[in-house]
């Protein structure tokens, strides 16, 4: 049973560039959430997708956008990258009726 | 004030010790409660859900006091492999709110 997968593992970008991160949920899960984890901090909720719609959003600017595909996989896009966007980006999947979320290994983004 | 606050770390304990983590949350509408464990540079992994009646899983015991908005985790007979960061997490309408984590280091 495959768990949550994310790609790429690492990414280096420069300020002003755009980035797309990808996530495939755990088998049987149809809800995908994205989190940003800065060094030394707990993860912060970015948004959640269910049935290809953004269901909830955290306190992140519009530069952060996402998408969910019919096969439940998801993308996180960040435009106009800032140095402060450097972080570990985590994807978590769940079933809509359960609050337990299972995390992928993350994508480590470095913005120079 | 942060929505979820945990004891500052790190906790350095010898093998076999009992260690307790405490956490408070500010939103009384929080619906679900968890402890996650995170190893260095890895993803958080669900350790256990926390229920009002309290629950135990082997050496781990979690408690929830909704009236005080307080969550705890007790680890008995700690092992070297318990060394990690422990994250207190509350669920609100499907999103998870994390504390900043408490680092535990178990020494031989």
User: B43-76, pLDDT tens digit by residue?
Assistant: 999 999 998 888 999 999 999 999 999 999 999 9
Task: Identify the band that residue A18 occupies on the pLDDT scale cut at 50, 70 and 90.
Answer: very high
* B2, A76, A65, A11: CA torsion to nearest 10: 90
Rounded Cα distance between B36 and B15, Å, is 21
- The string of pLDDT tens digits covering residues A33-54 is 999 999 989 999 999 999 999 9
Instruction: Flag if A104 and B43 touch (Cβ within 8 Å).
Output: yes
Q: Are B87 and B94 in contact (CB under 8 A)?
A: no
CB–CB contact A99 B45 (8 Å): no
Whole-angstrom distance, CA of residue A39 vs CA of residue A96: 29
Round to whole Å and give the CA distance between B60 and B78.
10
Note the pLDDT tens digit of each residue in B79-89: 999 999 999 99
Contact B87/A at CB under 8 A = yes
Round to whole Å and give the CA distance between A74 and A50: 10
Task: Please list, in sequence order, all residues whose beta carbon lies within 8 angstroms of the beta carbon of residue A30, skipping any fewer than 6 positions away.
Answer: A50, A51, A72, A95, A96
Output helix, strand, coil percentages for chain B, rounded to the nearest 5. Answer: 5, 55, 40
CA A17 – CA A66 distance, rounded (Å): 16
CA distance A71 to chain B (A): 20
Q: Give residue for tokens 């960061």.
A: B85
């Amino acid at each position: 049973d495959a768990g949550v997968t994310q790609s790429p593992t690492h990414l280096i970008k420069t300020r002003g560039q755009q980035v797309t991160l990808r996530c495939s949920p755990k088998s049987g899960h149809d809800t995908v959430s994205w989190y940003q984890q800065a060094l030394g901090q707990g993860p912060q909720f970015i948004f959640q997708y269910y049935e290809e719609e953004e269901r909830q959003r955290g306190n992140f600017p519009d530069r952060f956008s996402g998408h969910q595909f019919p096969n439940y996989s998801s993308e996180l896009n960040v435009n106009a990258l800032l140095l402060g966007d450097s972080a570990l980006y985590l994807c978590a999947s769940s079933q809509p009726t359960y609050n337990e979320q299972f995390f992928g290994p993350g994508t480590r983004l470095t913005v120079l | 004030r942060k929505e979820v606050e945990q004891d500052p770390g790190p906790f350095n304990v010898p093998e076999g010790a009992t260690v307790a983590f405490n956490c408070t949350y500010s939103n009384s509408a929080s619906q679900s409660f968890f402890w996650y464990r995170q190893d260095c540079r890895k993803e958080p992994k669900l350790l256990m859900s926390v229920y009002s009646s309290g629950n135990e899983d082997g050496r781990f015991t979690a408690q929830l006091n909704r009236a005080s908005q307080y969550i705890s985790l007790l680890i008995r007979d700690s092992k070297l492999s318990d060394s990690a960061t422990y994250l207190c997490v509350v669920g609100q309408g499907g999103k998870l709110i994390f504390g900043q984590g408490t680092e535990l280091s178990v020494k031989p």
